[in-house]
Amino acid sequence: MSESYTANDLLNAIAAASKTLGERRDEINRLNVFPVPDGDTGTNMSLTLESVVGNIASLPIGADGVAIRKAITTGALMGAHGNSGVITSQILRGLCEGSVGCEDVDAASIDAALSHAVDVAFSAVRKPVEGTILTVLKDSAAAAKRARKKKLATEEALAAVVDEAYASVQRTPDLLPVLKENGVVDAGGYGLAIFFDAFASALTGREGPMRDELAFARQAAPKVEIEQINDWEGSDYRYCTEFLVHSDEVDVDAAKDFLPTMGDCDLMVGMHPNFKVHVHSNRPDEVLRWFLDHDAQVSEVHIHNMQQQSVARSDALAAERQAEVKPLGFVAVAAGEGNAKILESLGVDVVVSGGQTMNPSTKDLLDAAGRVNADAVIILPNNKNIIMAAQSACELSEKPCAVVPTKSVPEAFAALFGVDESASLEDNVEAMTEAYADVKTGEVTTAIKDSKDAAGNPIKEGDVIGIADGAIEAVGSCVQAVAMELLAAMDADDADTLTILAGEDFADDAFEALVARIGEEFDELEIDAHRGDQPLYPLVMSVE
């Protein structure tokens, strides 16, 4: 049995589904866990659909099926954002191509469209992974095939597809261990189920609430909840790079062989003369250069720093998690994901990304203090160049705000151990300042110009240097050797504890070897070693 739906009915249903996806983008974003949060899944899928709606809105009245399908596929390809957006564009392309020749919307045409969508979407992904949006698509297509064999009516067939989409979402944690470990379902699959649900509801005129709301998840055990998962650190690459390629001659096979050599999550979809490219890479310039060197033109280039996105989401979530107003909250400035995590574990509510080469503004600090759900806020600047900005932020703050003038992240660690939540703001500032008074901080980095050390000895550009409380105390060609010399200058022999933070470019094996060496030479020193992942400084150390 078929229903008489016009092309306008279908286009209006797509627009309605796009609107619903946009309204629920944040809900989907909070599920991000795989493969990396290269932007937000819900946002990327929503933006891709918005581009489609924009394209079909510009169609002339009475446009035929060929023009409509082209508007949808072109809009999806050109507007695809992120990995999830590119895959969504291929699903839409498959649905359009699979519906060619179908006169009516019925179980047979739904089966044909979804079956082809599976073929197109899976062929676009080099290494498909079970438990993702692709699995939900495949299971939905299987439901459509069963509906065709049972000769279900259109509304019943669509309902079967929607029900199976949500059921497949519920099963994703059983297929992808990282989802089960974090207690979430797949974000892309959930977004696809919402899209199918909203489309079917709009097309058939079904009234009432959408049937998902993750009710099936709430009734199951273990309980599946929506929560933000920050796992940028699991990726080897920093930049999400996506752009359009325009060429009648580019060798698609060669391009698809090249992209994996530059990173991961690589996709190249489309056909001559227009393609969409997506890849996570540390060298987006080389990715772009390859296509330019192969007589292709590029446009709509978007390069996103996934580390910064991850930190921004962590900041937002930290503020959101504060369900009740606390008497005292904390803002700290730090560079490096590892440093941020340690500060958060010690009670910092908002970590502002910044440091020696990236000083946050007064507004940045004021905004951060405003996001802390507390009666009063203490700011830990962790750099001498940020103290004045922190003080200015406190003067402008509408809530009581004060600065504990830490000059390094290790000083902040020590200061936070002096917090007494039952004490006043003023008493805490005094206690925290006293808590880090005996901390000596040292940093190992590379000289960027010729200079002199504390004793007046020459330093050449490129030398490894060790800085203790602002003075250059050690110079050499090796990070490990300079670190040992710096510790001696910091009187590590007389200290009780050493905190040492590895920078983002300091390898784990080298870090472990250095910690072992320090343990041998300073055998009475208690060593607390962590990955701070700060840029430019292979090592940050403190003794007390």
User: Model confidence over 320-353: pLDDT tens digits?
Assistant: 555 568 899 999 999 999 999 999 999 999 999 8
**Is pLDDT at 475 greater than 80 in this prediction?**
yes
Q: Tell me the one-letter amino acid at 284.
A: P
pLDDT at residue 210, rounded to an integer: 64
**Is pLDDT at 53 greater than 90 in this prediction?**
yes
Give the CA angle between residues 459, 461, 464 to the nearest 5°.
70
Query: DSSP letter string over 287-330?
Result: HHHHHHHTT-EEEEEEEEEHHHHHHHHHHHHHHHT--S-EEEEE
pLDDT at residue 454, rounded to an integer: 67
**Is pLDDT at 224 greater than 90 in this prediction?**
no
**Mean pLDDT lowest among 31-35, 38-42, 539-543:** 31-35
- For residue 458, the cross-strand partners are 452
Structure tokens at 84: 């999830």
The rounded distance, in Å, linking the Cα atoms of 473 and 461 is 16
pLDDT at residue 95, rounded to an integer: 96
Q: Read off the pLDDT of each residue in 306-327 and give the average, rounded to a whole number.
A: 66
Domains in the chain, ordered, with CATH?
A: 2-219 (1.25.40.340), 232-306 (3.30.70), 322-435 (3.40.50.510), 440-543 (3.30.1180)
- CB-based contact 337:286 (threshold 8 Å): no
**This prediction's pTM:** 0.52
**Mean pLDDT lowest among 94-98, 180-184, 399-403:** 180-184
Give the pLDDT band of residue 302 (cuts 50, 70, 90): confident
Q: Which residue has better confidence, 32 or 435?
A: 435
Share of the chain above pLDDT 70, in %: 88
**498-526: b or e for each residue (b if 16 or more CB lie within 10 Å)?**
bbbbbbbebeeeebeebbeebeeebeebe
Burial label, 153 (beta-carbon count in 10 A; 0-12, 13-18, 19+): middle
Query: DSSP letter string over 122-135?
Result: HHH-SS--TTSHHH
The rounded distance, in Å, linking the Cα atoms of 538 and 443 is 8
Q: Read off the pLDDT of each residue in 201-218 and give the average, rounded to a whole number.
A: 63
**Is pLDDT at 365 greater than 70 in this prediction?**
yes
pLDDT at residue 324, rounded to an integer: 66
- CB-based contact 402:426 (threshold 8 Å): yes
Q: Read off the pLDDT of each residue in 203-208 and give the average, rounded to a whole number.
A: 80
For the CA atoms of 294, 300, 305, 309, the dihedral, rounded to the nearest 10 degrees, stands at -150
* Ramachandran class of 66: left when φ > 0, alpha when ψ lies in -120 to 50, beta otherwise: alpha
Across 350-463, the runs of DSSP E, i.e. the strands, are: 350-353, 374-380, 401-403, 440-446, 451-452, 458-459
Look at residues 156, 241, 170, 238 and name the one whose alpha carbon lies nearest to residue 200: 156
Q: What is the mean pLDDT of the chain?
A: 86
Residue written as token pair 């490096």? 336
**Is pLDDT at 246 greater than 70 in this prediction?**
yes
